[in-house]
Amino acid sequence: MMRAPRTLFGRLVAILLCGLVAAQALTFGLLWYERMTASRTMMYAYMGRDVASSVAMLERLPAGERGAWLATLERRNYHYRLGGPVGQRGPAPADDAAAASLAQWLGPRYRVDVAATPPDGPRRLVIDLRDGTPLAIDFAPAGMPLAQWLPLLLAAQLGVLGLSCWVAVRIATRPLARLAQAAEALSPTQAATPVPEEGPAEVARAARSFNAMQARIARHLQERTRMLAAIAHDLQTPVTRMRLRAELMDDETERDKWQADLAAMQALIREGIAYARSAHAAAEPAVRCDPDALLAAIVADYADAGQAVTLQGAIGHMLVSRPQALRRIVTNLVDNALKFAGAAAIEVEAADGRVTIAVLDRGPGIPADQLDAVLQPFYRLEASRNAATGGSGLGLAIAQELTEGIGAVLVLSNRAGGGLRAQVTLPSAPGRAAAEGHRKS
C-alpha cells in the first residue's frame, strides 16, 4: 500500500499531477471515443455505398461471370461469397449499424439478413439477388489505427505537466521552507535573522509576522538579560559593604556566619553575571585556534592550583571557533567534576568529521530522569548534590548556553560504575564551526 507524501511539497505535487493526468486521460479517452465513433460511421457509410455499387454490377452480369468479379470487388475489411450455404440467417437487429447502412443504400428492394458465424470470425450479412442467388458479405470492422508518434506525444505532455507542477509547487512552498528553517534556528543564544518577506501574499504575510515575533522575543530576552546583569552587578556594592561591616563585629561566631552567607551571596552574584554574559557568546568573533594547546593550558592551570585534572587524546589540527567560550565551557565542566568528585579527566577525540571533548568524573552522577533538567538555570540536585556541596545551579546552564552559542552540542550521561560524562561535540573540519556559528548568529 502506497503511503502519501509527508511533506507539503510532495502532497501538492501529487495532488496536482494526479488531477492533471486524470484530466488529460479523460480528455484523450473522450476524443478517442468520438474519433472511433465518427470513423466507424464513415466506414459503414462507405461500405454501404460500395456494396450497393457492387450489387448493381453483379445484377447486370450473367450468372456465370459473377464469380470472376468477386475478387475485384473485395476490400481490405470485407469480401463476398456468392451462392453456396451461408449458414442460418435471420433479420438484422434494429441497432445493427452496418446492416442499416447497407439497407439504406440498397433500398427496399433488398432485404438484409444476418447469418450466424463463429464468435471469433467475421460478421456476415446476406442479401438475395434478383434471381434468388444468396450473396454473403463477410466483414471485420477495422479498428482505428494508432499513429506511432502519439505515445511519444502523450509521454511528452505528461512530462511537461509533471515539470510544471514541480516548478509551481517549488516556487509556492520555498518561502514556507525558509520560514520553517528560521523557526528551527530560532534560539535565545543567537541573533535573529529576518526571513525574506517574499512569495505569495499569504506566505509573505506569515514571514512578516514571524519576523515581528522574532524581534519581540529577541528584545524580551535582551531586556531580561540586561536586568539580570544589572541586578547582579548592583548587588555587589551592598554585599561588599556588608562584608566590611561584618569584619567589625565583636562576636567571632556571628562574624563567621555572616561572612559565609555573604560569600555565598557574592558567589551567586558572580554566577548570575557570568550567566548573563553567556547569553551573548555569539558576540565573540570566531578565530583560528589550536584546541590542543587551549586544553593543555587549562589542565596546566588546574595543576598549578593543585587540582587532579588529566588530559587524554588530541585533536591534531587547527579549529575555527570561539576560544574564550570554549575555555569557559571546559572549565565549567571541570569545576563541576572537581566539586562533586575531587578529580576530573578530559578525553579528546577527532573522528568522522566531529570533535568530542568529554569531561569525566567518578562522583555520585545524576539521576537519568534529571540529566536534561540540570542544564536549566538555578536547577540543583538536593539528593545527590546538596546545598553543602552544590553551587548556584548555574555552572552547567552557562556551559549549555555557551555550547549552543558556538554551534556545538552538550550531552550529559552517567558512566558505568558511577560518575558523570559531560561531552561537547562540535564540527571537526576547519572553518565549519565558524560557519555554523555565523549562520546562527
Query: What are 377-395's pLDDT values in tens digits?
Result: 767 665 444 444 455 567 7
Interatomic CA distance for residues 102 and 211, integer angstroms: 79
How big is the chain by its Cα radius of gyration, in Å?
Answer: 46
Question: Are residues 349 and 261 part of one domain?
Answer: no
| Beta strands at 89-91 and 113-115: parallel, antiparallel or unpaired | antiparallel
The predicted model gives 212-218 an average pLDDT of: 81
Q: Which of 279, 313, 338 is the last residue of a domain?
A: 279
pLDDT at 325 (0 to 100): 86
| Beta strands at 343-351 and 308-312: parallel, antiparallel or unpaired | parallel
Could you tell me which residue, 313 or 34, shows the higher pLDDT? 313
Question: Are residues 432 and 292 part of one domain?
Answer: yes
Q: Tell how far CA 288 is from the center of its chain.
A: 35
- Is residue 311 in some structural domain? yes
Question: Are residues 41 and 131 part of one domain?
Answer: yes
Q: Give me 380's grid cell.
A: 540543583
Using CA atoms of 392, 394, 395, 398 in order, give the dihedral in degrees to the nearest 10.
Answer: -160
- Is residue 155 in some structural domain? no
Q: Which of 259, 279, 299 is the last residue of a domain?
A: 279
- Is residue 321 in some structural domain? yes
Percent of the chain with pLDDT over 90: 12
Count the domains in the chain: 3
Residue 99 to residues 15, 106, 109, Cα–Cα distance (Å): 48, 10, 14
pLDDT at 439 (0 to 100): 45
pLDDT at 259 (0 to 100): 81
What average pLDDT does the chain have? 79
- Is residue 165 in some structural domain? no
**Residue 242, domain CATH:** 1.10.287
Flag whether pLDDT at 294 surpasses 60.
yes
Q: pLDDT band at 433, cuts 50/70/90?
A: very low
Question: Are residues 346 and 419 part of one domain?
Answer: yes
Task: Please check whether residue 154 is in contact with residue 182, taking contact to mean a CB–CB distance below 8 angstroms.
Answer: no
Interatomic CA distance for residues 217 and 209, integer angstroms: 12
Q: Which of 258, 279, 300 is the last residue of a domain?
A: 279
Q: pLDDT band at 257, cuts 50/70/90?
A: confident
168 Rama class: left (phi>0) / alpha (psi -120 to 50) / beta: alpha
Could you tell me which residue, 132 or 432, shows the higher pLDDT? 132
Interatomic CA distance for residues 262 and 8, integer angstroms: 59
- Over residues 53-100, the pLDDT tens digits come to 888 888 888 888 888 888 888 888 888 888 777 777 888 887 788 888
- Over residues 129-183, the pLDDT tens digits come to 888 888 888 887 666 666 777 778 888 888 888 888 888 887 777 777 777 777 7
Using CA atoms of 330, 334, 337, 338 in order, give the dihedral in degrees to the nearest 10.
Answer: -170
Question: Are residues 432 and 297 part of one domain?
Answer: yes
Percent of the chain with pLDDT over 70: 84
3-state secondary structure of 396: helix
- Is residue 162 in some structural domain? no
Question: Are residues 298 and 275 part of one domain?
Answer: no
Interatomic CA distance for residues 392 and 377, integer angstroms: 9
Amino acid present at 322: R
List the domain range (segments joined by +) for residue 299. Answer: 284-440
Q: Give DSSP secondary structure letters for 420-431.
A: EEEEEEEE-STT
**Residue 46, domain CATH:** 3.30.450
Question: Are residues 249 and 326 part of one domain?
Answer: no
Task: Please check whether residue 126 is in contact with residue 110, taking contact to mean a CB–CB distance below 8 angstroms.
Answer: no
Which alpha helices (H) appear in 75-129, and where do they start and end?
Answer: 97-106
- Is residue 170 in some structural domain? no
Question: Are residues 405 and 296 part of one domain?
Answer: yes
**Residue 290, domain CATH:** 3.30.565.10
Question: Are residues 288 and 274 part of one domain?
Answer: no
Question: Are residues 293 and 268 part of one domain?
Answer: no
Task: Please check whether residue 136 is in contact with residue 124, taking contact to mean a CB–CB distance below 8 angstroms.
Answer: yes
Task: Please check whether residue 309 is in contact with residue 343, taking contact to mean a CB–CB distance below 8 angstroms.
Answer: yes
Question: Are residues 116 and 28 part of one domain?
Answer: yes
pLDDT at 3 (0 to 100): 67
- Over residues 315-369, the pLDDT tens digits come to 888 888 888 888 889 998 999 899 888 999 999 998 877 899 999 999 888 888 8
Question: Are residues 107 and 15 part of one domain?
Answer: yes
The predicted model gives 199-203 an average pLDDT of: 73
Closest by Cα among 421, 425, 380 to 406: 425
pLDDT at 387 (0 to 100): 41
- Is residue 65 in some structural domain? yes
- Is residue 169 in some structural domain? no
